[in-house]
Amino acid sequence: MNTRTPNRRGPRRSFSRSTMPRKPYGGSRFGGGQRSRQGGERIDFSRFINKAVITEEVDHFVPEHKFQDFAIDQHLKRAITARGYTDPTPIQDRTIPHILRGSDLVGIANTGTGKTAAFLIPLIHKVRQSTSEHVLIIVPTRELAIQIDQELKDLTRGMKIFSACCVGGMNIRPQIQALRYRHNFIIGTPGRLKDLIDRRIIHLSDIKTVVLDEADRMLDMGFIADMRFVIAGMSKERQTLFFAATFSSEVERFVKEFLRDPVRISVKTRDTSKNVDQDVVKIGRDQVKIEVLHDLLNQKELSKVLIFGRTKHGVEKLSKILIQRGFSAESIHGNKNHAKRQRALGLFKTDRIKILVATDVAARGIDIADVSHVINYDLPETYDDYIHRIGRTGRGDKKGKALTFVG
């Protein structure tokens, strides 16, 4: 990263850990909390401060199975081994046997815990057992759909299993062509799937298995009508798998409406990852927010940073300012076309840029390794949004930090 210092007024101020609050911030200006400017829920700032759990005596998960123990196709076992997997994660260990038995299932787990493989592995086996089997996977964002499609391709290389990735914001014609070709999996976003169903390109009667991944986010994003449309058009004799990170009363209503006596698996022990050290950065009356951010980004420990902004325009503006100041940065938001968003994600994943500035919607579901810090430059709309934001760091067994600007 280029850390040249621009001409600015006043002395530089370094925000080391020692200058950040060590107890919940409850400044008198906001009474310890504040609503977002778009009228989101009032959030107590103390919920943004939480030390990562660091202890010598950590709970060690011992899986009941190894991947080789599961009753799955031998080609699939070899593909799993080739990817370096030996022991399932908790959500994989608990859910795969039930999915293999054909049960409806609700799986609740924090982000970064291997939910994708938890449903892909048993469903690939299902397709291997019957080539006429068709699976529909519904997700909230095109980035997540593309990630799942790539993981599916990695696991099924050489197996003659094919997929169609159907998402909005991209040319629909190649997607129609893929659907007219032989395929076993359809992975898509609700709006584009509804469009293709309306055009009679997707025939729901052919599909006997459906996965709703990050279903809580789809409900939050207003996709409930499209989800109902898709599910209602399918056979009642289907297997429905429902995965989420949070479980609200609205989610419960949806589960009761569309799942049949589901097995419920929860390996979520708390709202946020125990691996994420959370703190706030208070912006004083005499400070300029962008200057505080500049000083933070110059610290060596901020090696790979995801910054959240509130609006598409604000995210784009902030990324340009950071580039002008000599930082290697990019942005992703809804006003960028698919190619530009994928390019930005690729640069960030491969460490060719250090900073990615994103809106909540654009960043949902992305899985990028080794994000050292999440910075909430703008306050989240809700606490659930906060949970999903900071879940981009501290993934798996790695440590991460989340900093939220308040003031």
| pLDDT averages per 10-residue partition of the chain, 407 residues | 41 37 34 51 73 45 83 93 88 94 91 88 94 92 91 93 92 94 94 95 93 88 88 92 85 88 80 75 91 94 95 95 96 86 90 93 76 94 83 79 91
The whole-number pLDDT of residue 313 equals 94
Enter the tokens of residue 324: 């002008």
The whole-number pLDDT of residue 131 equals 79
Count the alpha carbons within 13 Å of 350 in the hemisphere toward its beta carbon.
7
The whole-number pLDDT of residue 13 equals 39
- The identity of residue 253, as a single letter, is R
Domain positions in the chain: 17-50+272-406, 67-266
In this chain, the answer to whether the domains covering 17-50+272-406 and 67-266 adopt an identical fold is yes
The whole-number pLDDT of residue 362 equals 74
What whole-number distance in Å separates Cα of residue 178 and Cα of residue 276? 41
Q: Are strands 43-44 and 33-34 parallel, antiparallel or unpaired?
A: antiparallel
Q: Quote the strand ranges of 36-162, DSSP E.
A: 43-44, 105-108, 135-138
CATH number listed for the domain at residues 17-50+272-406: 3.40.50.300
Reading phi first (left if > 0) and then psi (alpha if -120 to 50, else beta), residue 12 is in: beta
The whole-number pLDDT of residue 52 equals 63
The whole-number pLDDT of residue 35 equals 54
What whole-number distance in Å separates Cα of residue 260 and Cα of residue 224? 19
The CA-to-CA distance between both ends of the chain, in Å, stands at 28
CATH number listed for the domain at residues 67-266: 3.40.50.300
The whole-number pLDDT of residue 74 equals 92
The whole-number pLDDT of residue 221 equals 79
